[in-house]
Amino acid sequence: MNNAKFYETIFKRKSVRKYDMAPLDEKTLEDVKKFIDDIKPLLPEVNTEFQVISQDDVKSFMSIKAPHYVVVFSENKEGYLTNIGYMLQQLDLYLSSKGLGACWQGIAKPAKDIINKSNLEFVIMLAFGKPAENLHRSDKSEFKRNSMESIRDKGDFDELLEVVRIAPSATNSQPWYFNIEGNSLHVDCIKLNPIKALIMERMNKVDMGIALCHLDIACQKSEKKFKFSLKEPSNYNAPKGYYNIGLVEIE
């Protein structure tokens, strides 16, 4: 991860929904694939698979039109959706830093034969290509996000959490909350009513991984150690309306 470049990119990236439909050149696609091979997992024990496919392999009318997509599969293990969010956000930032557009695709699916060929569970796709609209935000004020006060209980880590606050999330839902105790951040996710949860619970767990990716990049930038664990001390209770997904220790 080229951290300095990614840190800068976080402050200007946006979802790109209009693409030049001409395929990217071979060299650029090879570079994307090489980057994918080097993506750092949050949970190394979970098996994952990333495939680059083209528009012809996406049959879903729910997707935006782009020349390429990355399709992500994973073993279904504890924390796997959050692990995918953490991993694929690295690619989102890489593409944006290289002048390419990207957009997470929470509903679209690849063609059935692509899903059937993998032994792992299909999780999500990311559309990408040469942008046919502005690639970046021109000003940070263009981020429509919740206030810092609404995503944490204490101000001790605001510089790091600002990087999380502006992270992308499905339908811009920003489901994260950080409960701070010394150098530990309890990472909590919003609880949804059963109807909303049918679609959004999965997406929100991916969103939590995106938030952790941004937090990790912010920690590296300020030369702090980021350590994530899925298991919380048993005496921790998430605030009302939230459930816990893990713990970050910052040193």
Ligand X SMILES: Cc1cc2nc3c(=O)[nH]c(=O)nc-3n(C[C@H](O)[C@H](O)[C@H](O)COP(=O)(O)O)c2cc1C
Backbone angles phi, psi at 46, to 5 degrees: -100, 125
Among 24, 46, 87, 203, binds ligand X (CB under 6 A): 203
What single-letter DSSP state applies at residue 19? B
Q: Considering the rule CB under 6 A, would residue 169 count as an interface residue with ligand X?
A: yes
Of 223, 141, 226, nearest to 185 (Cα)?
226
Residue 248 is which amino acid?
V
Which residue, 82 or 184, has its beta carbon nearer to ligand X? 82
- Rounded Cα gap, residues 104 and 107, in angstroms: 9
Q: Map the footprint of ligand X across residues 85-124, applying CB under 6 A.
A: 103-107
Question: Tokens 């990119």 appear where?
Answer: 9
Min CB(154)–ligand X separation in Å? 26
Q: Which helix (H) or strand (E) holds 89?
A: helix 80-97
Q: Minimum distance from CB of 126 to ligand X (Å)? A: 9
Stretch that binds ligand X, among 179-187, 200-208, 229-237, 238-246 (CB under 6 A): 200-208
Does the footprint of ligand X cover residue 170 (CB under 6 A)? yes
Residue 14 as a binder of ligand X (CB under 6 A): the answer is: yes
Choose the stretch contacting ligand X; rule: CB under 6 A; options: 21-29, 31-39, 170-178, 236-244. 170-178
Which residues lie closer than 8 Å to 113 by C-beta, 6 or more apart? none
Query: Alpha-carbon distance 157 to 152, whole Å?
Result: 9
Count of residues in contact with ligand X, rule CB under 6 A: 18
Q: Which of 75, 74, 73, 6 is nearest to 35 (CA)?
A: 6
Are residues 50 and 39 in contact, defined by beta-carbon separation less than 8 angstroms? yes
Query: Which of 64, 180, 192, 199 contacts ligand X by CB under 6 A?
Result: 64
Q: Is 60 in the site for ligand X (CB under 6 A)?
A: no
C-beta of 21 vs 107, nearer to ligand X: 107
Cβ neighbour number for residue 173 with a 10 Å cutoff: 15
- Quote the least distance from Cβ 1 to ligand X, whole Å: 19
For the chain, state the CA radius of gyration: 18
- Nearest distance in Å: CB 249, ligand X: 25
> Using CB under 6 A, which residues numbered 124 to 143 contact ligand X?
none
Residues contributing to the site for ligand X (CB under 6 A): 14-15, 17, 64, 103-107, 168-172, 203, 206-207, 210
